[in-house]
């Protein structure tokens, strides 16, 4: 019984729990880079995925943050919302797409 308990504790100690949310992706590497990555992971007692994540994080830390999108602001009369059907029918006609002009 004690042997089973010791083995169970060893499994708990060796288990890695990731708290962060991650997504799976595929990376194609040249054969030489893959061999060097595998060797580095073995030397450092880390996974290849962990080394790749660290390298990507370092690369992105050096990149300037992209500009935030600045969508155009439209100066619309709030009454447009209340009369949207009238404005659309004036633009498309009262029959809409059914009048044959759009191939419907």
pLDDT tens readout for residues 36-84: 999 999 999 999 999 999 999 999 988 887 777 777 777 777 777 787 7
Is the pLDDT reported for residue 96 higher than 80?
Answer: no
Helical pair 48-62 and 31-44, crossing angle rounded to 10 deg? 100
CA distance 81 to 28: 50
104 within some domain:
no
Token pair listed for 50: 């962990």
Tally of domains within the chain: 1
- 7 domain residue, yes or no: no
**What gap in Å lies between CA 53 and CA 47, rounded to an integer?**
10
Domain of residue 41, residue span = 29-62
Of residues 27 and 71, the one with the higher pLDDT is 27
Mean pLDDT of 4-21: 59
Q: Is residue 89 situated within a structural domain?
A: no
* C-alpha to C-alpha distance for 93 and 86, rounded to whole angstroms: 10
Residue 69, in any domain of the structure: no
3-class state of residue 8 by DSSP: helix
Instruction: Note whether residue 48 is domain-resident.
Output: yes
pLDDT of residue 66: 77
């Amino acid at each position: 019984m004690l042997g089973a308990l010791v083995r169970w504790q060893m499994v708990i100690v060796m288990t890695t729990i990731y708290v962060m949310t991650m997504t799976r992706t595929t990376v194609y590497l040249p054969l030489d880079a893959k061999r060097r990555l595998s060797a580095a992971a073995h030397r450092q007692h880390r996974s290849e995925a962990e080394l790749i994540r660290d390298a990507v994080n370092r690369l992105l830390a050096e990149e300037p943050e992209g500009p935030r999108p600045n969508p155009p602001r439209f100066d619309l009369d709030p009454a447009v919302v209340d009369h949207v059907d009238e404005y659309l029918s004036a633009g498309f006609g009262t029959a809409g797409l059914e009048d044959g002009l759009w191939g419907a």
